[in-house]
Amino acid sequence: MSKLLGHIGIILMLFFTSSLFGQSKNNLKLWYDKPAENWNEALPIGNGRLGAMVFGSPSVERLQLNEETIWAGQPNSIAHEKALEALPEVRKLIFEGKYKEAQDLATSDIRSQTNNGMPYQTFGNVYISFAGHSNYTDYYRDLDIQNAIASVSYKVDGVTFNREILSAFKDDVIAVKLSADRPGMITTNILMQSPYDKTDPVSRGDVIMLDGTSSNHEGLRGGVDFEGRLAVETVGGSVKSENGTIAIKDADSATIYISIATNFKNYKDLSEDVRKKTISLLNNARKKDFESIKKNHSDYYQKFFNRVSLILGKTEALDQPTNLRIKNFSEQYDPQLVELYFQFGRYLLISSSQPGGQPANLQGIWNDMLFPPWESKYTMNINAEMNYWPAELTNLSEMHEPFIQLAKEVSETGRETAKIMYDADGWVLHHNTDIWRITGPIDNSHSGMWPSGGAWLMQDLWERYNYSGNKKYLDEIYPILKGSAEFFLDFMVPHPEFGYLVVVPSNSPENSHGGGEGNASITAGATMDQQLMFDLFTHTAEAAKILNKDKDFVQQLNSAKQKLAPMQIGRYGQLQEWLKDWDDPEDDHRHISHLYGLFPSNQISPFRNPELFESTKVVLEHRGDKSTGWSMGWKVNLWARLLDGNHAYKLLNDQLSLVGDDGGGSYPNMLDAHPPFQIDGNFGVTAGIAEMLMQSHEGAVHLLPALPDAWNTGSIKGIRARGGFTIEELKWSNNKIQQVTIKSNLGGNLRLRTESKMDLKKLKLAKGENSNSFFKINPIQQPIIKDKSQTSQPELPKYYEYDIETEKGKTYTFSSK
């Protein structure tokens, strides 16, 4: 870190004088001077439903294709009655300290007796071959995340060849334009290929077609029928479709259209007419030229992407290919790589999670395997939730909708699981689900015997309400919140030794503890469970009050909340991970589950409970910085919540480094490395960068709460704060706020927290208010309300707080004094 900061003083004079707030033409592009040699160098495009990885080889372009609903298996439930008989004995063994025996029994009798969920699967590939293009010069490829388009260019024998590839948001096809700077130069053969059995491509007139069925897995027959169709329109030249191959000869340009569809209608219905859909999509696209498709595509995409901008500075590192910038990030000052990574996360979320579709899975929508690592499912003990940390914060609320829909669907399937397996009301979700919305425990008890996935999912749904204040939405999700709370009111039992109401059996995902014989994970009352229950009961009760519903149920929730175990500080000064003080300071496990209370929750605060706040630092110091990619993404957010911008930046430095043998990082295509690839790390870091610049979880909009020294000057526009506020622009210089403009979307109190004094000029008091209370102000004026010094907290700066009574729809600008 010190070496990195040493570079800054030399570079700052150069970069501050070079139009700091102007975007470079390359700033929002990942670009390379050679083709991808493997999947982790290829570039992702997607429209939420259709994904492709673009490799960019001049001689044989490979487009590896995905469709979001191609999953192995078919509708099914893994709930079973055997669990109900085993549950009392498992609990008895846990309370007796016989954790190994309890774990073995849960694994045999509570875990799924059929399958462990189904894998997300690839569609296959399209290959576009060009004879004689092996010897090329002037090679360039990029992914333009400003427009959501990938491109390739190179020269052969003095002719410049170009490709543009996109996954069209509006027209719902993959479109590829092939062109050259000399007429008649496009001669190529095009082939579709898929790894499934009996999926050879065939020609149907001027179209090639490939169809198949998803895989059988763990005794469950594959039921997703899929079909892909490909057609070409050219300017000049000739086109011939024969034996499943399309040959283009001597064309001036060519546009390739690819449509893919499945019979998937919803998680319990496979009756969609796949052939009708692929034909319709392909025919509609062929009526349009590439430029029309591209314009409609980019216009739609930019409605979301352009809401937010981030500027942290400019250096000459921008002139290097992206893979070299990642490789050199720890050795050179490259603030625009942070900007690019931040916006790349937003690009990936827009491209993998569109309203009406499936939520982003463990790999978004990009997967080249039939049986990928962890089957690319939805891991609910952090990974799936982490995918959506940037959704509200970085102004992509619409991208959140597929995850909200998943919550509604697992609340349906989880009701059956709760009743059959535990004889409980409400609904339950364990640590994993798939497109079929299974909700029972899978895998082994080390990870699967964790029934609190639904509770974490409810925290995510509640956060969306915090940002929007939309009571119609709250009324829509309230039955799901209530159902989750009903389950835990039934499922939790008093701990015979401590008396606390606990979740049992459970674990602290996915860690082992030192109780009993050691090396067991199953337990009662893990800290994370207690934190999740606190949030679930609190939020459900608050929702009921807002909606004026269920007064008696609110009393039950409040009564149960009083019986939860408090968070505890252990013998090393650490926040305990378990009810008993089993923590090991040598434990460097990737999961830091008991820090949920710090982030993404807000139960731990330097202002409300400083002792707990300090105990979380001890945990992070024990666990260390370097870890798997998604874990480092979580730690960026945790250190930001600890108001330590330089340490959060150090984690960014680790994550924005090429993946190594010692842990995660980034691949050359900037995708997160667990390793292997998991997309949650990208999303986690995107949220973490925003958290470093603005936080709003404590009833205040805290500006620059964790600004690192390296980001001396910059600006961010368009991010959202809880309470219905949009930070239209925040500018800072010399690590101090210069100006902030905030729009109030709901009206009501805006509490600002800053380290900078704001300007008192033009302050207007509302009638009937006094100087120690609230003020009503006019838009675009500069208020200060109260100076509140937080002097009692160790190692915290002096903060100022300002309370402003805002009006709905109006914008307010504040300047530093």
pLDDT tens readout for residues 532-541? 999 999 999 9
Residue 800 is predicted with a pLDDT of: 81
Among the ranges given (9-13, 656-660, 738-742), the one the predictor scored with the smallest mean pLDDT: 9-13
Nearest Cα to 210, choosing from 232, 222, 193?
193
Q: Identify the pLDDT of residue 404.
A: 98
Tens of pLDDT, residue by residue over 389-430, are 999 999 999 999 999 999 999 999 999 999 999 999 999 999
pLDDT for the residue 15: 32
What CA–CA distance (Å, rounded) separates 616 from 121? 39
| Residue 19 DSSP SS3 | coil
The arithmetic mean of pLDDT across residues 699-728, rounded, is: 96
Q: Residue type for 293, please? A: I
Cis peptide before 321 (omega within 30 of 0): no
Mean pLDDT computed over 337-347: 98
Q: Is the dihedral of CA 339, 342, 348, 353 positive or negative?
A: negative
Question: Do the strands 672-673 and 701-703 form a parallel or antiparallel pair, or are they unpaired?
Answer: unpaired
Nearest of 392, 434, 424 to residue 489 by alpha carbon: 424
Q: 437 — alpha (psi -120 to 50), left (phi > 0) or beta?
A: left
- What does the block give as tokens for 752? 């600002």
**Amino acid identity of 580?**
K
Helix (H, G, I), strand (E, B) or coil at 67: strand
pLDDT digits (tens, 9 = 90+) for 472-497: 999 999 999 999 999 999 999 999 99
Share of the chain above pLDDT 70, in %: 91
Whether 481 and 492 have beta carbons less than 8 Å apart is answered as no
Residue with the larger pLDDT of the pair 559 and 197: 559
Neighbouring CB atoms inside 10 A of 88's CB total 10
Q: Between 227 and 331, whose confidence is greater?
A: 227
pLDDT, average across residues 218-232: 98
pLDDT tens track for 146-176: 999 999 999 999 999 999 999 999 999 999 9
Q: In what order do the strands lie in the sheet with 701-703?
A: 694-695, 701-703, 748-754, 800-806, 775-776
CA atoms within 13 Å, Cβ hemisphere of 592: 33
Q: Give the domains, in start order, of the chain with CATH numbers.
A: 29-71+120-301 (2.70.98.50), 714-815 (2.60.40)
CA–CA distance, 714 with 696 (Å, rounded to integer): 20
- Residue 816: what pLDDT? 79
Q: Supply 98's token pair.
A: 């016989």
Residue 73 structure tokens: 């298996």
Cis peptide before 675 (omega within 30 of 0): yes
More reliable by pLDDT, 701 or 663: 701
Written as six digits, the tokens of 536 are 């679930």
Q: Is the pLDDT of residue 12 over 60?
A: no
pLDDT score recorded for residue 3: 36
| Mean pLDDT (whole number) for 564-588 | 95
The answer to whether 508 and 591 are in contact (CB under 8 A) is yes
Write down the mean pLDDT value for the chain: 91
Helix (H) or strand (E) holding 66: strand 60-67
| pLDDT at residue 765 in the model | 31
Which of these, 701, 804, 798, 717, lies nearest to 760 by C-alpha position?
804
> Which tens digit of pLDDT belongs to each residue from 739-754?
899 999 999 999 889 8
Q: Which residue do the tokens 């509140």 mark?
A: 788
Q: What average pLDDT does this structure show over 11-37?
A: 60
Q: How many CA atoms lie within 13 A of 25 on its CB side?
A: 1
- Tell me the average pLDDT across 119-133: 98
pLDDT value of residue 18: 33
Q: What is the pLDDT of residue 198?
A: 83
Q: Which of 383-387, 533-537, 719-723, 739-743 has the lowest mean pLDDT?
A: 739-743
pLDDT band at 769; cut points 50, 70, 90: very low
Token pair recorded at residue 194: 């898929």
Answer whether residue 790 shows pLDDT above 60: no
| Alpha helices per DSSP H over 469-608 | 471-491, 527-547, 551-561
Phi, psi dihedrals of residue 487, rounded to the nearest 5°: -60, -50
What's the pLDDT band for 662 if we cut at 50, 70, 90?
Answer: low
DSSP E strands: which ranges in 157-206?
Answer: 159-167, 174-180, 186-193, 202-204
Q: Tell me which residue has tokens 């994970």.
A: 521
With 60 as the cut, is the pLDDT of residue 711 above it? Answer: yes
Vertex 425 angle, CA 419 and 429, to 5°:
70
> pLDDT digit string (tens) for 275-305?
999 999 999 999 999 999 999 999 999 999 9
Interval 242-251: pLDDT, tens: 999 999 999 9
Contact residues for 265 (Cβ-Cβ < 8 A; gap 6+): 271, 272
Q: Is the pLDDT of residue 5 over 70?
A: no
Tokens representing residue 445 in the block? 């008890």
For residues 645 and 813, which has the higher predicted lDDT (pLDDT)?
645
The answer to whether residue 383 scores a pLDDT higher than 70 is yes
The span from the CA of 48 to the CA of 351, in Å, is 5
Nearest to 196 by CA among 67, 330, 361: 67
**Rounded Cα gap, residues 162 and 140, in angstroms:** 10
Place of tokens 């982030």: 599
DSSP 110-152: TS-SS-S---B---EEEEEE-TT-SS-EEEEEEEETTTTEEEE
Whether 32 shows a pLDDT value over 70: the answer reads: yes
Q: How high is the pLDDT of residue 422?
A: 98
Q: What is the mean pLDDT of residues 722-746?
A: 94
| Nearest Cα to Cα of residue 384 among 656, 637, 683 | 683
